[in-house]
Structure 1
Amino acid sequence: MNVTLGFIGCGNMAKAMIGGILKNGILMKEQIIASAVSDSTVAKVSEQFGIKTTKDNLQVVENSDIIFLAVKPQYYETVIHEIREKITDNQIIVSIAPGKTVDWLGDLFGKEVKIVRTMPNTPALVLEGMTGVCKNNNVTAEELEEVCRILNGFGKAAVVKEDLMDVVVSVSGSSPAYVFLFIEAMADAAVADGMPRNLAYEFAASAVLGSAKMVIETKKHPGELKDMVCSPGGTTIEAIRVLEEKGFRSSVIEAMKACTKKAREL
């Protein structure tokens, strides 16, 4: 499809998206334009991806069918105020900000605008991102499908009800940080038992990667997969016993509930 794509903001998430979209042939570099505040970022992104770059957000708007607002949430009001008069009925605005509802975004534009709200995560950097998606009533099913096609360029996209988007933040948007903490803790334990740190990180990260693939590819319940590893009277069930004793599950659940609550307050 001959759609043009614009990014207002060119941070790590935007670059991950652009990289995946180009690598997977979703769009050609000539179909993408991005803006950034600094000359160095504009030059770096242009050199890295070969796309058109600018410091002018309005130039992005004027040259895009779909516009990703890829700035930090605290800058949304400023950016929307700058571009809202130039947004047409046919353009689609895609938000990646946590906690910002489609109604909140629509109120800032002050007119009927096509808005898609998304919550991507940082595994997009390695084309394994998971993005939650919802829309307002101005976006057609075909337009949502096209946005999802683009989002699938750097991972997977799943359409959810908007009242679940804050849950997406805790289970997907923020959760890579929990996993990194878990990997770091496992590596620290291995180092404490004598393993070199670089090897400890490789073992721990590979175990998490393989375990995640088992859940996705076998479609088995995580509890069933856990039981497959736990031999009677063995080493694994002893480790599970200690994790349960220390409140592992409860800690994860409470952390995620706090994350969801914070997202709803943003």
Structure 2
Amino acid sequence: LPEGYMFNISAPDGGSPTSIRRQIEDLIGPADTEEWFQLFRDNYVQEADIIAMKEWGADHIRFPFHYNLFYDIDTDEFIDEGFDRLDQLLVWCKRHRVDVILDMHAAPGAQNDGPISDSDGTARLWTESETYWPITVKVWEEIARQYKDETIIIGYDLINEPVTPDGYGGRDLARLYGQLTTAIRKIDENHILFIEGNYYATTFDFLTPPFDDNMVYAFHKYWNETDQGTIQYLLNIRSQHNVPLWLGESGENSNPWFYETIKLMERNNVGWNW
């Protein structure tokens, strides 16, 4: 899933994946754009990258995907190519023993109003939930069906950085997570469910107590200090409910900030992803 900053394209000029594709089409036409994106996906991550990350000490990677990698909303059909690409990644990861967390980085309708969710400016996952929640459930059901016995996959990061708009809130997020959990557990009882908090995975109101026996609270950490106080509320949730924590994203700061953040996580026995 391309994000605008990777291409030095920022919002509101078109930092979403759809806007990036549209701008490339304006330059070279639809057919060449499709070829370009195929080559982009062929080359963005290869086996050599998995080897390098293993050598650097990584024991797992987070696979961020746009739901439309696997599902065509216009035809109501699943896309074999998307699953084939994930299958190839899993082959490399099994070969080099790097575990995988599947991350729905752009959900149907968009889970926040920013370009990272491929939004058109409205978080329609919430404002048009009757349309987009069933699709979200359907995609995760198919993923669970195909990978329920895949041991290199740690689990499913159900919704990346949800942000409910005005008029919606944590109760709505909890209801969606409840539907997803029920649907997935009918198929797959093996994998961990990673539950991100509201407001870019920072607040967990209405997501406690835990609603599954095999779940993790996943949080993100950007643009703040690296002291104990910044994560104490999360540690309190962990202690109160006996549910693990995982830092799923962080960064955009500096190398010293990264170093201090990693030390903070390790002192508190919190797993982290780069």
> Do these two structures clear the TM 0.5 threshold for a shared fold by scoring above it?
no
TM-score by length of 1: 0.31
Structure with greater contact order relative to length (CA < 8 Å, sep ≥ 6): 1
TM-score by length of 2: 0.30
Determine which structure has the larger helix proportion and give its number: 1
